[in-house]
Structure 1
Amino acid sequence: MPDHAAHADLKKAALAVRENAYAPYSNFPVGAALRTPEGEVFTGCNVENVAYPEGTCAEAGAIAAMVATGGREVAEIFVIADAPHPVTPCGGCRQKLAEFTRAEARIVMSTLEGRELVMTMAELLPGAFNTTHLERT
């Protein structure tokens, strides 16, 4: 069972930033809020572009905001969208999250109605590409 109290502030921040999403083509606004191990919270929303592949996901926006201030680790992230089931980060965002999280980091995905799915990063992206793949023998 998800611990709603543990991430209530992230949910509030993700809901608020979702309102700023720019999604005129899909009409699918998404908000994300992440927390660093130090307790700092950063938010992001999806930003679409008429040239569809050029848009930015909410998770990527939150990560960019964190990195812009010197942050390098995500302890937890909350992603929210208006969908019948919790929306998982896309494949690209899973890899972006893997770059800045530990295997045990909490990934909380939620609908507007409060249905949640909580996974660790390792569960969300098993077999993630990482620096060990770059090592030479």
Structure 2
Amino acid sequence: MSTDELFAAAKAAMERAYAPYSRFPVGAAIRTDTGAVYAGCNIENASYPEGWCAETTALGHMVMAGGGRVCEIAVVAEKMPRIMPCGGCRQRLSEFTTADAKLHLCDTEGVVETVPFSSIFPRAFDLESRA
């Protein structure tokens, strides 16, 4: 699967977002080191902001399918080009990313910029920091 196909999976997920409160649909797709792709959208509820993010949904799909190491992430929002994962999702993603994982920042047409995941979250909590 190419980067364009990973973007397409994120965009398709965004189109399924349940965002009646914020009206801010987001989609994410992650690719593991085995080539498997998992996508997710944000899902809100009446106790806004107690919903969950697109990246969280994608990670949930990955974990339920048996886990893996994330090597690529694509994130897209209908109303914000180059959307970044929120702080909580950066930590969640860091639990599963490879050292050289790439983050693709997208607009609704495709990938706008690609950055190393480590550049947006260089000092994540990890098992060693909890010892």
TM-score for both structures, normalised by structure 2? 0.93
Q: Please tell me whether residue 10 in structure 1 is matched to residue 6 in structure 2.
A: yes
CA displacement 1:110-129 (0-9 Å, x = unmatched): 11144623211210101111
How far 1:64 moved relative to its partner?
Answer: 0.3
How far 1:71 moved relative to its partner?
Answer: 1.5
Aligned match of 2:112: 116
Aligned match of 2:38: 42
What percent of counterpart residues are identical?
47
CA RMSD of aligned residues (A): 1.5
Aligned match of 1:53: 49
Q: Which has the larger radius of gyration?
A: 1
CA displacement 1:84-124 (0-9 Å, x = unmatched): 43110000000000000023100111111446232112101
Q: Which runs of 5+ in 2 are unaligned?
A: none
1:100 is matched by which residue type in structure 2?
F
Aligned match of 1:22: 18
The aligned length equals 131
Q: Which runs of 5+ in 1 are unaligned?
A: none
TM-score for both structures, normalised by structure 1? 0.89
**Equivalent in 27, 31, 37 of residue 27 of structure 2:** 31
Q: Going by fraction, where is helix more abundant, 1 or 2?
A: 1
